[in-house]
C-alpha cells in the first residue's frame, strides 16, 4: 500500500471501514503529498475521526448504493446504480470534477449521481443497514419463520412464506413504489398488511429506531465496532458462527438441492 501511495495521484480506499484507522496511520498518511486525492466509498472513518487527512489533499465520497459484486454485474450489463457523492475537502479546486468523473466511470452516471455530505451518507447508511436492510429484515424473516415452525408448519413451507416471497414483494415495491406495489398484490394480502403491519412495526419499534439512530449519531456504534475489531472481532465472529447454523439456512440449502435436482431432470 505504501508504495502505491508514493506514486498515485488518486487513492481509492475500499477496505472494510474498521481497517481504515491502522491502514491510514501506518501505510497512507506518512507518504501523502500535496495535491493527491483520497476517495472513500463510505464516510464512516472520516465522519467519526478514525482518519484525519492533511489539509493539502482532496477528500471525497463516491458511494455507489449497492453491494460490490452486484454493482459490477450491473456495470457489465451496461447499466449503473445510484451514487451518493460528497466533497469533504477540496484542496486543489478540482475535487468535484474528479469525483463526478470517477462516479461516472463506475457506471453511476447512467443512473444518477446525487450530491450530499459524508455525515448524511454515513449516518443514514448505518441506520438503514441496522434498522431495515440487514438487521431489521434478518430478524423479521427469522422470527416469522421460527413462529411458523414452532407452530408445527413444515420448514420448507415457512421458508416460502417468509423468505422466498420477500424478494418478489420487494421487487414490486422497488419498481412501482409502495402504492403501485400494493395495487399488484391480492386484496387479502393488502387488507392483512393494513391490519397487521402496525401490530408488528409500531410506536415501540419507532422508539427503538430512534435509539439506534442516537447510537449511530453519537459514535457509540462505531466505538463498539472498533473495540471489537481491535480485540480480534470475537463478538462479530461469534455472532456470525451462530447465524450460519440455524434452521432457516438449512431449509434454504435443502430447497436449493431440490431446485438443482429439478433442473438436472
Residues annotated as catalytic (active site), given as ranges: 42
Task: Yes or no: say if 152 and 139 are a contact pair by the CB < 8 Å rule.
Answer: no
DSSP element (H, E) containing 114: strand 113-115
By CB neighbour count within 10 A (0-12 exposed, 13-18 middle, 19+ buried), where does 172 fall?
Answer: middle
Could you give the dihedral angle defined by the CA atoms of residues 199, 202, 207 and 213, in that order, rounded to the nearest 10 degrees?
Answer: 110
**Three-class SS state of 56:** coil
Q: What is the DSSP letter of 65?
A: S
| Alpha carbons 16 and 45: distance in angstroms, whole number | 10
Q: Which residues contact 140 (CB under 8 A, 6 or more apart)?
A: 200
**Three-class SS state of 77:** coil
Task: Give the chain's end-to-end CA distance (angstroms, integer).
Answer: 50
Whole-Å CA distances, 153 to 145, 147, 163, 250: 9, 9, 15, 16
Q: Taking the alpha carbons of 48, 53, 57, 4 in that order, is the dihedral positive or negative?
A: negative
Amino acid at each position: 500500500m505504501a508504495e502505491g501511495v508514493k506514486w498515485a495521484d488518486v487513492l481509492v480506499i475500499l477496505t472494510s471501514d474498521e481497517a481504515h484507522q491502522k491502514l491510514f496511520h501506518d501505510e497512507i498518511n506518512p507518504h501523502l503529498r500535496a495535491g493527491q486525492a483520497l476517495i472513500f466509498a463510505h464516510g464512516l472513518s472520516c465522519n467519526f475521526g478514525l482518519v484525519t487527512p492533511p489539509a493539502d489533499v482532496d477528500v471525497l465520497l463516491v458511494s455507489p448504493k449497492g453491494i460490490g459484486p452486484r454493482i459490477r454485474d450491473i456495470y457489465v450489463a451496461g447499466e449503473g446504480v445510484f451514487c451518493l457523492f460528497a466533497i469533504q475537502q477540496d484542496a486543489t479546486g478540482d475535487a468535484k470534477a474528479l469525483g463526478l468523473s470517477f462516479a461516472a466511470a463506475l457506471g453511476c452516471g447512467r443512473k444518477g449521481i446525487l450530491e450530499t455530505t459524508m455525515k448524511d451518507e454515513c449516518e443514514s447508511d448505518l441506520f438503514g443497514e441496522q434498522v431495515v436492510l440487514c438487521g431489521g429484515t434478518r430478524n423479521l424473516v427469522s422470527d416469522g419463520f421460527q413462529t411458523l415452525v414452532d407452530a408445527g408448519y413444515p420448514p420448507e413451507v415457512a421458508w416460502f412464506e417468509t423468505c422466498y416471497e420477500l424478494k418478489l414483494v420487494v421487487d414490486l415495491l422497488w419498481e412501482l413504489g409502495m402504492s403501485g406495489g400494493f395495487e399488484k398484490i391480492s386484496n387479502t394480502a393488502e387488507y392483512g398488511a393494513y391490519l397487521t403491519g402496525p401490530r408488528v412495526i409500531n410506536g415501540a419499534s419507532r422508539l427503538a429506531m430512534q435509539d439506534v439512530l442516537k447510537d449511530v449519531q453519537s459514535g457509540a456504534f462505531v466505538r463498539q465496532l472498533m473495540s471489537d475489531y481491535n480485540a480480534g472481532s470475537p463478538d462479530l465472529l461469534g455472532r456470525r458462527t451462530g447465524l450460519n447454523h440455524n434452521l432457516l439456512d438449512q431449509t434454504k440449502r435443502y430447497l436449493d438441492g431440490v431446485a438443482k435436482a429439478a433442473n438436472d431432470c
